[in-house]
Amino acid sequence: MGGQQFDSARRCFPRREWLRLGGLGAFGLSLPALASRRALAAAAAGRPRATSCLIIFLSGGPPQHETFDPKPRAPVEIRGPFLPIATSVPGVQFCELLPRTAARAHRMCVIRSMTTGIHSHSTSGSFMLTGHEPTSVAESVPPSARDWPSIAGAVGALRPAERSPLDAVILPEPIFNNPAIPWPGQNGGFMGAAWHPHLIRCDPSQERIEIEGLTAGSGLTEIRLDDRRSLLGQVDRQWHRALGSPAMAELDRFQQEAFDLLHAGSTRAALEIDREPLESRDRYGRGKFGQSLLLGRRLIEAGVRLVQVNWPREPGDTTAGNPLWDTHQDNAGRLKSVLCPQFDIAYAALLDDLHDRGLLDETLVVVMGEFGRTPTINAGGGRDHWGSVFSVALAGGGVPGGSVIGASDDRGGTPADRPVRPPDLAATIFQLLGISPDHEFRDPLDRPLTVISGGRPLQEIVG
């Protein structure tokens, strides 16, 4: 089950080779695989309700029954062993595995009728991550230069950050299928490097965070960094003139990105999660997911426009039969002991933290996966892939709290009311962030395209 962000320079030359040729390796600075963050005009459709967005992607496909849409009247082979509990919204119930989340339902809008109709991780995931229907519904479809840009990439390009050198960030790792096949729909697609989100590979649960490509060499001070930028420029000018390819023309921008980020005080400080008070870190849970959410909050506070936190893999997940939220086996055990507790603690802490800091009203928080799980528990005690209906949760950023949109049937198998498709969800996210879903942009061939086609913002949310 994720995907890597590749810039065009890296496609033309192996990373080690172009780092060596460009001189960065010799001068003590690792150049990150980052995309250009400026280039396109903002596409505001009036005053945005949300100034930033944090997408929480529960890779693998969380079950609707054991999260936001319990079915207490269904037989045990459908409802599972867990009971529903009351939430802070009268008449709305969540699964008992999410007690902290249930206590904050008044801040949430839950969509219970989300549907892709696709039961494959990568292609249903691409549909959710881009809002555009994939041309194939097969599993393990690799990314290509024909893919539609991700929501993260589009937001970063069309509404660039104003206070940070980072427009859109994905952390702590990309999403991929076993064995390490990247998903489509995670980068700039046919728009190229200018639309790629910044991929920050890291483990924020470590005592001191190390970020691939964003760590200056030991002893590299600000003055020395400036000196090396000047020297690097002298070396690279000759190199670029000699090679002259479009990929090399982009390299100057990538280098400037690296230096900008290392010089940007607030963004650089946000990445130093060890500065966070211990009690704050404890509230999120000390695992990789919880600390990634905390890092996401720090980046949002530092001015990053959009942060997408992917559920990280555990050791052994690449060979396990139920990695991430992909609970084909022992659904109940995995949910009770590993998945739901981590999510419940971290998500509740995030909503509280944003609220207490005065950021929730302007920060849109979206919880989603690529699909849900089958209404019937299989012979191995698990639930299988199910794109016919599942749940998505939104909070903050102008979203009406304490609300539910749509419904699934009595089995949690199909939409019973108000089906919502990925283009509708994407259009809603764009609209809340001040980007018109009808906004027209030009692709590299100068063809006019609209941000979303075939979907409209949910009026229950945007009003």
pLDDT of residue 407: 98
pLDDT of residue 260: 62
The model's pLDDT over 288-311, given as tens digits with 9 standing for 90+, comes to: 999 999 999 999 999 999 999 999
pLDDT of residue 19: 34
Contacts 24+ apart (CB under 8 A), 175-180: 175/1, 175/2, 175/3, 175/57, 175/59, 175/125, 175/310, 176/1, 176/2, 176/3, 176/4, 177/1, 177/2, 177/121, 177/122, 177/139, 177/140, 178/1, 178/318, 178/319, 178/323, 179/318, 180/318
Q: What Rg value do the Cα atoms of the chain yield, rounded? A: 22
CB-neighbour burial class of residue 85 (10 A; exposed 0-12, middle 13-18, buried 19+)? middle
Side-chain-side CA neighbours of residue 309 (13 Å): 26
Q: How confident is the model at residue 234 (pLDDT cuts 50, 70, 90)?
A: low
Place of tokens 């890092």: 295
Task: Catalogue all structural domains in the chain, each as residue range(s) with its CATH number.
Answer: 8-462 (3.40.720.10)
From CA 164, how far away is CA 306, in angstroms rounded?
11
The model's pLDDT over 405-421, given as tens digits with 9 standing for 90+, comes to: 999 999 999 999 999 99
Residue 31 pLDDT > 90? no
Residue 12 pLDDT > 90? no
The model's pLDDT over 91-146, given as tens digits with 9 standing for 90+, comes to: 999 999 999 999 999 999 999 999 999 999 999 999 999 999 999 999 998 999 99
Q: The pTM is what?
A: 0.84
The model's pLDDT over 52-105, given as tens digits with 9 standing for 90+, comes to: 999 999 999 999 999 999 999 999 999 999 999 999 999 999 999 999 999 999
Neighbours of 300 (CB within 10 A): 26
